[in-house]
Amino acid sequence: MVKLTGKKKIPIAVFISGRGSNLKSIYQFSKNKNSFINLKLIISDKLLVKGVLFAKKNKIKTKIINYENKNIAEKQIINFLSKNNIKLICLAGFMKILSKKFVNRYKNKIINIHPSLLPKYKGLNTHERVIKMREKYSGCTIHFVTERIDSGKIIMQKKVRLKKSDTPKSLARKVLKLENELYPVAISKVISMI
Ligand code: GRF
């Protein structure tokens, strides 16, 4: 177990592919002196996305990974992770599937955020499906990453009640707000466990 005493913050990495709103909330949280995390590295498989622009603006170390060859890409990522002594990987809208080998190497050290109340609505287009099924509630889940998509042990969830007037767009907005609030809380919880 990592001792959360003294001034040393735990180095973490965030993996992104796009907008980066969760990245932003994790970054803001890391700036809080009681947060115990140091957002040391960002990995992105895309170059000109909002998340990367945010990282550059805030001078966070960012590595853009060419994913033409997954094996080589993951070797590069492992190299950056170990160079930066990363203790926890947070996936935040990262659209590449990590190999079994990679996931096993970082067992219980990779977490992901998903915009549904898992185990319901794994995969893509969650909000459309939730609305179609006339669910009363939706929400977000932070879970450990295993080789099976959106299936690892759940760390935290937060739910929101749907209105009859909700559309996939309005629901997405509500759930994203919850995601941005919950991710830093879940990271703190995991950090105190590793
Ligand atoms: C979020 O909805 C997250 O749950 C999903 O991808 C989206 C990423 O959003 N895995 P952002 O890039 O953090 O704004």
Residue 188 has pLDDT above 60, yes or no: yes
pTM of the full structure? 0.95
Residue 97 has pLDDT above 60, yes or no: yes
Q: What is the position in ligand 1's atom list of the atom closest to the CA of 20?
A: 12
Q: What is the pLDDT of residues 155-177, one digit of tens each?
A: 999 999 999 999 999 999 999 99
Token pair, residue 13, equals 């990495």
Write the DSSP string, 99-151.
PHHHHHHTTTSEEEEESS-TTSS-SS-HHHHHHHTT-SEEEEEEEE--SSTT-
Which residues lie below 8 Å from residue 109, measured CB to CB, with a gap of 6+? Answer: 87, 88, 89, 194
Categorize the per-residue pLDDT at 60 as very low, low, confident or very high, splitting at 50, 70 and 90: very high
* Ligand 1 pocket test, candidate residues 179, 180, 182, 187, most atoms within 8 A of CB: 179
Categorize the per-residue pLDDT at 128 as very low, low, confident or very high, splitting at 50, 70 and 90: very high
